Chains A and B, each alone.
Chain A
Amino acid sequence: MILLERLAPELLTAAPLLVMRHVSKRYGPVVALEDVSATVWPGEVLGIVGESGSGKSTLLRMMNLEDTPDAGDYTLALPEVPGNLFALDRFARRQLCARRIGIVYQNPHQGLLMGHSSSGNVAERLLMAGERRFATLRARARDALDVSEFPLNRMDDPPRLLSGGMQQRVQLAKAIALEPALLLLDEPTTGLDVSVQALVLDTLKRLQRDRAITMVIVSHDLGVIRTMADRVMVMRRGRVVEEGLVDQVFQDPQHPYTQELVHAKL
């Protein structure tokens, strides 16, 4: 059955913020990513869905410049970094990530120093960007925690003493403290109780609505993607098998794998 081929954007005049082209990555014999391309426009939320091991986290790590692929290139439409970001050295990558990209990991240990104060974790991000005044650091950390709907009376507690939901809010505060151009979320609510998950998603949704932050959110949970994303890419075994508007992909999936995924989860 032939599907009509999709045209390039004609009406949207904004240039994409993120363009990743033909990215492939192997770890020994394991193909983690195979010829993956992705485009994200300013202000939109791109969802990435797929079963465990399909390459979602690897793709997000590439977007966060934590790893370099075997092939492919990556650009962000930011004035200070023209050209392929995979070509940047470690120092330039760190600078760019600290200032322009925020990330929330499924596992808070990956993003936070669990024994330091929560406010200190957020302030660290500001320190990296060059802020040195103590009062400013504290005030901005506090603001970021507040926007992330973190209970401020706990801001000096270390994450290891906090609940899972609060830990994710500290990660979120750290990620948005510098008002990044791009916010990456890797299974941000996986492992939380359902009710806590709903509250964290609600915070993310509110942030998106108020600030129009460009986001890429990874989840194996279709419900999370449906709530959060405008468009979705479906991954399987390191490849993108289908992509489209969220309502279309979930209501009229085309690829056999997506149909299986949608029918299994609904």
Chain B
Amino acid sequence: MPNFERGSVVLQVDGLAKSFRMHHLGQNLHAFDHVSFTLRAGEFLLLKGPNGVGKSTLLRTIYRSYLPQAGQVWFSHGAGRIDLARAADVDIALLRRREIGFVTQFLIARPRVAAEDIVAEPLRKAGMSAAEALDQARHWLATFGVKRDLWRAYPTSFSGGEQQKVNLARALILPPRLLLLDEPTASLDVGARAAMVARLADLKAVGVAMIGVFHHPGDVAALVDRDLVLMAKEVDDVAV
């Protein structure tokens, strides 16, 4: 596993703001503004706040699935830093392949790709031999509780819970520098949740910086360094 220099700044978010302009309604839907925080290698930030306050939106804005209106998201990669809020699309695509992971409860299953190949893919892309990647993939499938006879099957036909386990195995197999987690275990059994927490502890130990929302925050209590609480702002949705 790589080892990220503990304590070095990975993410520095300054004055980040996001709202959704809904043209057909002539309205802006406010999500958040003035969000600032710093996240260092090996730190675990727990994102909290009431339903609908913008937690998922904040994670997606950092990942650049959403475009912010203002602020900076400075991400330090190996050789400098880049503002994710305005980086070129192709740079974001490259960072998503190599440095920034995002795990949710949903697997993007692809037709005719076996579970073990989906899980092994990040290792293969990172240059590991097919045999070794497959070996590790099977190890993580087993660890997350996917039954052996499913490893070579296509997850498109799996149950929601099984897909979620495949998803976790894939997302956590290779430590990214920054890992964003949006309720990755929302409906998982206790065993799989425990396996995930153990894996997150490994990742923390090698210096992965994490920020996440958890359906069962108690699970990760021992890993959390700080809380980031999003509060609803008392604004009406402004017509423009």
Contact with A along B2-21 (1 / 0, CB 8 A): 00000000000000000111
> A residues within 8 A CB of B70?
4
| CB <8 Å contact, B67 and A41 | no
Bound form: Cα–Cα A230–B88 in Å:
13
Bound form: Cα–Cα A245–B28 in Å:
22
Contact for A6 among B20, B66, B68, B89, CB less than 8 A? B89
- Residues of chain A from 187 to 227 with CB closer than 8 A to chain B in the complex: 198, 202, 205-206
| A213 nearest CB across to chain B (Å) | 16
Bound form: Cα–Cα A251–B106 in Å:
15
User: What size tier do the contact residues of chain B reach?
Assistant: 20 to 34
| B76 nearest CB across to chain A (Å) | 12
> A residues within 8 A CB of B77?
11
> B residues within 8 A CB of A8?
88
| CB <8 Å contact, B67 and A11 | no
- Residues of chain A from 220 to 266 with CB closer than 8 A to chain B in the complex: 230-231, 243-245, 247-248, 251-252, 254, 256, 259-260, 263
| CB <8 Å contact, B111 and A10 | no
> B residues within 8 A CB of A260?
23-24
| A204 nearest CB across to chain B (Å) | 11
Closest residue to B70 on the A side, CB-wise? A4
Contact with A along B80-104 (1 / 0, CB 8 A): 0011011111111111000000000
Contact for B90 among A3, A44, A247, CB less than 8 A? A44
User: What size tier do the contact residues of chain A reach?
Assistant: 20 to 34
| CB <8 Å contact, A251 and B60 | yes
> A residues within 8 A CB of B20?
252
Contact for A251 among B21, B66, B110, CB less than 8 A? B66
| CB <8 Å contact, B28 and A1 | yes
Closest residue to B80 on the A side, CB-wise? A10
Closest residue to B102 on the A side, CB-wise? A247
Contact status of A245 and B24, CB under 8 A, knowing A6-B86, A205-B110, A252-B65 = no
* A binding-site residues for B, Cβ under 8 Å: 1-12, 41, 44, 198, 202, 205-206, 230-231, 243-245, 247-248, 251-252, 254, 256, 259-260, 263
For this complex, 18 residue pairs linking A to B, each with C-beta atoms less than 8 Å apart, are A1-B19, A3-B67, A4-B68, A5-B86, A6-B88, A7-B83, A7-B87, A7-B91, A10-B87, A10-B88, A11-B94, A205-B111, A230-B93, A248-B64, A251-B60, A252-B67, A254-B67, A259-B22
